[in-house]
Chain A
Amino acid sequence: MAEDYYTREEDNYEDEELDQTSFKSVKDAVLFAIDISSSMLTPRPSPDPKKHGDESPASAALKCAYHLMQQRIVSNPHDMIGVLLYGTKLSKFYDENEDDQEDLSYPHCYLYTDLDVPSAQEVKHLRSLTSPADGDDDVRQILEPSKEPVSMANMLFCANQIFTSKAPNFSSRRLFVVTDNDNPHADNKAMRSAATVRARDLYDLGVNIELFPISQSDHEFDTSKFYDDIIYKTSPSDGDAPAYLQPDTNASTGKGDGLTLLNSLLSSINSRSVPRRSLFSNVPLEIGPDFKISVNGYLLLKKQEPARSCFIWQGGETAQIAQGVTTLMSDETGQEIDKSSIRKAYKFGGEQVSFSIEEQQALRNFGDPVIRIIGFKPLSALPFWANVKHPSFIYPSEEGYIGSTRVFSALHQKLLDSEKLALVWFIPRRNASPVLAAMIAGAEKIDENGVQKIPPGMWIIALPFADDVRQNPDSKINRAGDALNNAMRDVIRQLQLPKAIYDPSKYPNPSLQWHYRILQAIALDEDFPESPDDKTVPKYRQVHKRAGDYILKWAEELNLQASEMFDGSAATSTLVKRGAKTEPASDHPPKRVKIEDSAPGVEDEVKKCFDKGTVSKLTMVVLKEFLHSHGRATAGKKADLVERVEQYFEQKL
């Protein structure tokens, strides 16, 4: 219960307030522009025949778009995405007549998925395009390249119009261009300069063009031929954000087989999937009295929760979400009241102690936003347990103080080299509650595709106050002997994770994914998936194979030490029944390495009753104990418990 309460509470507490200084709405729109040429459509076979990697660059790009679309439904439910194919034989743009291929504004541009928050149908529609092999004729027709070249200027203006009409006033608009053609208008200077002009329009509109170049087998993609004239350092709407100029080295050399190409493209697109939004901007980092630099704050790690449930009205043609309207009423008169007349008061001594709005604000005010260094400590001074929430990330900005970046960099390097942390007094926003925090330097991390995984910068870790530290409850310590520790060490050595690190990207949140997977199935009226693809479930077979023997050794040792230490008292204790092993180890190998908390034989007893169909004859105590030891809920009436026990055995069979 408490756990649940906590996470909900946290939501309100951690107000992910974004900078609302601009007139723009803080939303992101991504339009994919995917080049459909014959080279883009040619599958790149895998050298390893066992891998089904005959991916063409185009299908890899479409899969990435599909992947991003699904991902955004989960993580950015209000942001838009669209897919524009160009170089296609067919053309499609809003209500223009497809059959009349003569009079088109944007020939060979095919707006496959309109720029919008995707609907379930659109997800399905895009999915059908990702596997053209088993797609129908329509799909094949759409993916037929045009014989004449497409005008890049036209494609860019087409994108311009899509952004202008569908995503007006968005703070972030991005055009993801995926192509293997580094010189589209090699021999036509006029078309080339028309394209540069249209690219400038996009820049002035605040659209950021991001290029995902794919090298062809015979030559490297060379951006200097054309795209350096198209792409700008920063988008004007993102003026203060430092440009990330490092090319994704491996992505552009995606010369290998289709699968490698798909993976490097995915990783490259993933790294740009979220628009960069700051948590706070230009907050002074006060290094010493009268010495400040400016930094921006970001949330790079934040628990992603499923969207809240809502109420849906199904009386019309399409189901729609009903908007809840809350009205406030006076308890005294029952009349509706205006928000402005509300006063806040605290319950005290049977009455209310109230403060005016100004006083209420004054109480919350501990000064202007600041990150103020009050001293340094060795990194080792930060205990593992001293944590209360996710960290904030900061990166220097030249907006408030010129020279911030170099000073920040010097501090960053010093803290890394000396393994120190800075103790800071941290007020992220006006009227935010101040915290004492540890500021630690984080080094840049690059993944195997050369794409940045963790940016360089500093992390601010809020420390608990004395009020937030709980006392350890009493616990009886029975220290294990060396032999037992050694036996456990052998087990641990067998079961290290790859590279002995925790890599979050390997573990999608199973309940979040399942939630949206089911919603998708309901929305598209498809069959539910059989079982979830849950990467967090431990690999039981591997544990058994790799460490099984060591575990048995450990169990034997545990048994030995237990009987020595507790001298049979454990065996007779009513709480510790069948210890790790009560059967003589020599006779038959241990059946269960289990430190039971249930009465002896509860397991067997319940099983026996199940076989005889007499589970309902068992007492509540036994049923509860059995269910609890199998991680099942123990609440409810006896009938519920019996049903749950029966379910357990039925599932096992």
Chain B
Amino acid sequence: MAEKEATVYIVDMGQSMGERHHGRPMTDLEWAMQYVWDRITATVATGRKTATVGVVGLRTDETINNLEEENFSNISILFGLGQVLMPDIRKLRETIKPSNTNRGDAISSIVIAMQMIIEYTKKNKYKRKIVLVTNGTGMMSDDNIEGIIEKMKEVNIELVIIGADFDDAEYGVKEEDKDSRKAENETLLRSLTEDCEGVYGTLEQAVSELDIPRIKVTKSMPSFKGNLMLGNPEEYDTAITIPVERYFRTYVAKPISASSFVPRSSTEPGSQAPVEGKGEGEGDALSSVRTSRTYQITDETAPGGKIDVERDDLAKGYEYGRTAVPIEQTDENVANLQTFAGMGLIGFVQKDQYDRYMHMSNTNIIIPQRANDNASLALSSLIHALYELESYAVARLVTKESKPPMLVLLAPSVEADYECLIEVQLPFAEDVRSYRFPPLDKIITVSGKVVTEHRNLPSAALKDAMSNFVDSMDFITTDDDGEPTDDLPIDESFSPLLHRIESAVRYRAVHPYDPVLDPSERLTQFAHPSEEMAKNSKSHLEKLMSTADVKKVPPKTKGRKRQRETEKPLSGLDVDALLSLEPKRTKISTENAIPEFKQTLSRAENIDAIHDAVQQMAKIIETQITHSLGHSNYDRVIEGLGTMREELVDYEEPVVYNDFVRQLKGKVLREELGGDRRELWWFVRKGKLGLIGKSEVDSSAVEEEEAQEFFATN
């Protein structure tokens, strides 16, 4: 459980806060509220009832507080401590506007905030905090300031004062021609925070740091508590057993997830929250979505070929190939391997023999059981022995009884004040997919000859240029003292999606009508090499580019008729010549339609021959549709259509295809091809087998729009 919080924000709303200073496009209040809204919405986003917030207005027109004294005039409690919800945000947004007065004492407002906190939190354990944001121009009295400081310390409240154009030598802000009263106030506030051991800062810095993503610290729970074993203690006397615990080392933080809603159909009165405050934002006219699941089976005799079945009539089971294997409820666990929790060492491997890309998962750490000195001593010897031998351990890990075993790699981690094993999952045999690729440093010809000079192989000059370029692009990371380190910039890199969505949600909550913002620079700082690096490596890059001589493939020639040479078998035999001798191949046969269609096209000497081939193919396809039982032939039809389209694009004969597919659509819609074939049209659409548009082949007269509309069936 996170600690309870009580934070009061004091917002200076004085008339002078409505002014713009030093050429800023926004008023001081707008500027201050950037900071305040960010902090408040960050709290709201946690959704925690115990993270309470209060808001006090300083230098307001009215006076709304319990201390009915002159000293406390023009100070208003705008929101008493409690959980902030959306309607409160809307209300505050309306309320917080510059007032028509500059009266109101900042020090008094702090007293009021203290009072609020003391009343609300009583003696309970809370994280107490007061944040004052002001431009420091009002009247401030230091009466009884010692009493305030004392009380502040006594109830343990953290005081944060942020000021617009407050001087801050450390951050480098100094306001020229500062008003003397403001200078006095700054001194007062600074000494107050110093005495309270609080934080005093300038608004410019506070706002500029808003885009530093805040990392949610998650307390890890052990994902395994059990024994690390070498050998089998149940069977042998020589087995080692060390009680250990396992925690996440890395774990991907996911962006907050959106839920599905539908707009409310009606806004009938009496409907429940969250409809209150209707019309304010757009988030409130939504109704949540429920899902219900029904089950269907294929039944040829039923209309539509499917019937509904009851969930209760179904057994749980699995697919084995195309056989459905039901599993009786009684032995539901029969297909689960019986396992017992534990981490059993299988053997050891050499660090330099391990390929880093075998890491399959997030990583964990293994530490000794809490308060078990012997365990920590024993584990320490394993960690150090692995470290000294430059070895890793391979282990079989079952985190809980009946869980599937994992194979994990254990690496020693020894730091000055910490040691542990780092654990990562290894691939099983089934996890490795063997795709083969030719070597990159040589070409092996069909005859087995090894070639080392080839257009796909880099020349010595290219290798050189690449080497120089790579060496000129060292990514520099530095430690706190600015010394270069060998670290990757993990600590400075933030999940772009997670933080962008989070800040977008918070921004929208306060500004419902603004468009979504671009990601902050901080989130995309690693999207490009730094300007400095780019500059340093520029000459090497230019040299590399000119040596490499890489040419972009113009989009037009992509997928163009393939090179004839590849259409020969390995021997290079001219099969085309043999084909033309085949006496039977004058007509395209149904059973061998696709090859024969392609071959006919490749032999075609004039457009008539192409027309003829397409016509024959069209007939075959139409017959297949007509004779299709349900959708039984549709895959063949789609393959035929797709082949035709592909070939005719390659031969730049879009008109022939377009004429054919238009006719086909007509026949499908008029149900001339064996009844209702709308489902087939859906497949045509999915396979994008409609008209060939201009963008694909220049000579087509079909505009993109027409090609799109063509898919519609009405």
> How far, in whole Å, are A372 and B473 apart by their CA atoms in the complex?
13
CB of B491 within 8 Å of the partner chain: yes
B591 sits at the interface (CB 8 A): yes
CB of A139 closer than 8 Å to a CB of B: no
Inter-chain contact A377/B474, CB cutoff 8 Å: yes
- CB of B635 within 8 A of CB of A168, answer yes
Per a CB cutoff under 8 Å, which of B431, B438, B566, B596 touches A302? Answer: B431
- The reply to whether B430 and A409 contact each other, CB–CB distance below 8 Å, is no
- Is A511 within 8 A of B404, CB to CB? yes
Q: A320-B324, A363-B516, A512-B428 are in contact. Are A540 and B283 (CB under 8 A)?
A: no
Please list 12 pairs of residues, one from A and one from B, whose beta carbons are closer than 8 Å in the complex, sorted by A's number.
A23-B639, A313-B295, A330-B262, A373-B473, A388-B250, A391-B359, A420-B470, A444-B440, A476-B368, A492-B389, A593-B238, A631-B341
Is the CB of A342 closer than 8 A to any CB of chain B?
yes
Contact between chains at A409 and B493 (CB < 8 Å): no
A-B interface, 4 closest residue pairs, ranked by CB to CB distance from nearest? A375-B475, A23-B687, A631-B340, A511-B404
Per-position contact with B for A294-322: 1 when CB-CB < 8 Å, else 0?
00001111111011011111111011111
Which residues between 573 and 608 of chain A lie within 8 Å of chain B, taking CB atoms? 573, 575-576, 579-580, 589-597
Q: What per-residue 1/0 map shows which CB atoms of A366-401 lie under 8 Å from chain B?
A: 110000111111111111111111110101101111
In contact, A405 and B218 (Cβ under 8 angstroms): no
Docked complex Cα distance between A104 and B260 (Å): 60
**Among candidates B89, B291, B346, B385, residue contacting A327 with C-beta atoms closer than 8 Å:** B291
B714 at the interface (CB under 8 A from A): no
A41 on the B face (CB < 8 A): no
Q: Which of A160, A230, A475, A532 contacts B367 (CB 8 A)?
A: A475
The chain A residue with its CB closest to the CB of B382 is A488
Cβ contact within 8 Å between B321 and A312: no
A538 within 8 A of B: yes
B629 within 8 Å of A by Cβ?
Answer: no
Q: Tell me the bound Cα distance from A406 to B462 in angstroms.
A: 8
Cβ of B194 under 8 Å from chain A = no
Interface 9-mer from A51-59, A175-183, A331-339, A612-620: A331-339
Binds A, one of B541-549, B655-663, B695-703: B541-549
Flag if A433 contacts B497 (CB, 8 Å).
yes
Partner of B553, one of A337, A402, A573, A594: A402
Is A344 within 8 A of B639, CB to CB?
A: no
- Knowing A329-B289, A342-B260 are in contact, say whether A374-B566 is a contact too (CB < 8 A): no
Q: Which residue of B lies closest to A540 (CB)?
A: B232
Contact status of A595 and B241, CB under 8 A, knowing A507-B429, A514-B337:
yes
**Measured CA separation A478–B384 after assembly (Å):** 12
Closest A residue, CB atoms, query B383:
A480
Instruction: Tell which of A92-100, A141-149, A212-220, A270-278 binds the partner.
Output: A270-278
- State whether the Cβ of B265 lies closer than 8 Å to any Cβ in chain A: yes
Whether B396 pairs with A538 at a CB distance below 8 angstroms is: yes
Is A382's CB under 8 angstroms from B488's CB?
yes
Contact A515/B337 with A418-B467, A470-B251 known, Cβ cut-off 8 Å: yes
Tell me the minimal C-beta distance from B400 to chain A in angstroms.
Answer: 7
Q: Which of A318, A396, A596 has the most CB of B within 10 A?
A: A596
CB–CB B446/A196 < 8 A: no
Type the 1/0 row for B578-621, where 1 means its CB is closer than 8 Å to any CB of A: 11001000000001101110110000000000000000000000
B220 surroundings in chain A (CB, below 8 A): 470-471, 473
Question: Number of contacting residues on A, CB 8 A?
Answer: 286
Among B215, B217, B382, B403: residue with most chain A CB under 10 A: B382
- Selecting from A130-138, A255-263, A546-554, the interface stretch reads A546-554
Instruction: Name the residue of chain B whose CB is nearest to the CB of A455.
Output: B437
* B292 close to A327 (CB less than 8 A): yes
Quick check: A436 and B526 within 8 Å, CB to CB? yes
Query: A301 near B433 (CB under 8 angstroms)?
Result: yes
> Could you tell me the distance in whole angstroms from the C-beta of B251 to the nearest C-beta in chain A?
6
Please tell me if the beta carbons of A164 and B353 are within 8 angstroms of each other in the complex.
Answer: no
| A506: interface (CB < 8 Å) | yes
Total contacts A-B at CB 8 Å: 896
Is B144 an interface position by the 8 A CB rule? no
State A6–B425 Cα separation when bound (angstroms): 13
Q: Is B505 an interface residue (CB 8 A)?
A: yes
> In the complex the two chains form, is B434's CB within 8 Å of A410's CB?
no
Determine if B261 and A344 form an interchain contact, defined as CB atoms under 8 angstroms apart: yes
Q: Is the CB of B558 within 8 A of A593?
A: no
Q: Contacts of A345 on B, CB cut-off 8 Å?
A: 258-259, 261, 283, 286
A410 to B462, Cβ gap below 8 A? Answer: yes
B123 at the interface (CB under 8 A from A): no
Contacts A164-B592, A515-B337 supplied; 5 other A-B pairs, CB < 8 Å? A201-B595, A301-B358, A393-B357, A444-B439, A491-B230
At the interface, yes or no: A461 with Cβ under 8 Å from chain B? yes
Given A288-B544, A504-B431, A520-B320, A471 contacting B569 (CB threshold 8 A): no
Contacts A511-B404, A516-B320: A467 and B434 contacting too (C-beta < 8 A)? no
Asked if A352 is an interface residue, CB under 8 A from chain B, the answer is: yes
Given A244-B438, A595-B372, does the pair A403, B548 have CB atoms closer than 8 Å? yes
Q: Is the CB of B411 within 8 A of A384?
A: yes
Check: A442 CB closer than 8 A to any chain B CB.
yes
Contact of A504 among B264, B290, B432 (CB under 8 A): B432
Query: When A224-B571, A315-B313, A633-B400 are in contact, do A122 and B287 touch as well, CB less than 8 Å?
Result: no
User: Chain A residues near B504 (CB, 8 Å)?
Assistant: 355, 363
- Which residues 114-141 in A have Cβ within 8 Å of B in the complex? 116-123
Nearest chain-B residue to A375 (Cβ)? B475
Q: Closest CB of chain A to B461's CB: distance in Å?
A: 10
Residues of A near B404 (CB, < 8 A) are: 509-512
Task: Say yes or no: is B207 at the interface (Cβ < 8 Å to chain A).
Answer: no
Q: Interface residues of B: mostly helix, strand, loop or mixed?
A: mixed
CB-CB under 8 A from A348, the residues of chain B are 44-45, 47, 86, 283, 505-506, 509
B30 part of interface (Cβ distance < 8 Å):
no
CB atoms of B438 and A242 under 8 A apart: yes
Contact status of A311 and B341, CB under 8 A, knowing A325-B293, A551-B238? no
A544 within 8 A of B: yes
Contact with B along A476-499 (1 / 0, CB 8 A): 111110001111110111011101
Looking at B264, B401, B558, the one whose CB has the most chain A CB atoms below 10 A away is: B401
**When chains A and B are docked, how far (Å) is the Cα of A415 from the Cα of B463?**
11
Check if B466 sits within 8 Å of A411, measured CB to CB.
Answer: yes
The chain B residue with its CB closest to the CB of A25 is B635
Chain B residues in 8 Å Cβ range of A544: 231, 236, 238-239
CA distance A366 to B528 in the complex (A): 12
Q: Which residues of B contact A515 (CB under 8 A)?
A: 318, 335-337
**B11 at the A interface (CB under 8 A):** no
Instruction: Known A402-B551, A496-B347, A597-B372; judge A630-B340 contact (CB<8 A).
Output: yes
- B399 contacts chain A at the CB level, 8 A cutoff: yes
Flag if A229 contacts B571 (CB, 8 Å): yes
Contact across chains for A329 and B237 when beta carbons are under 8 A apart: no
On whether the beta carbons of A595 and B309 are closer than 8 Å, the reply is no
Digitize B258-284: 1 where CB-to-A-CB distance is under 8 Å, 0 elsewhere.
111111110000010110000001111
A504→B240 contact, CB < 8 A = no
Of A197, A300, A351, A384, the residue contacting B575 (CB under 8 A) is A197
Contact check: which of A121, A332, A389, A558 meets B287 at CB < 8 Å? A332
B residues within 8 A CB of A332? 262, 264-265, 271, 287
Give Cα A325–Cα B215 distance, bound, in whole angstroms.
Answer: 40
Residues of chain B within 8 A of A23, CB atoms compared: 638-639, 641-642, 645, 686-689
Chain B residue numbers with a CB within 8 Å of A310 are 316-319, 324
A510 contacts across to B, CB distance below 8 A? 337, 404-405
Contact of B466 among A299, A327, A414 (CB under 8 A): A414
- Is A26's beta carbon under 8 Å from chain B? no
Q: Name which residue of chain A comes closest to B529, CB basis.
A: A374
Q: Which of A60-68, A82-90, A560-568 contacts B (4 or more CB under 8 A)?
A: A560-568
Contact indicator per residue, chain B 476-500, by CB within 8 Å of chain A (1) or not (0): 1000000000111111111111111
A396 to B578, CA, bound (A): 36
The answer to whether A342 touches B262 (Cβ under 8 A) is yes
Q: Which residue of A lies closest to B459 (CB)?
A: A406
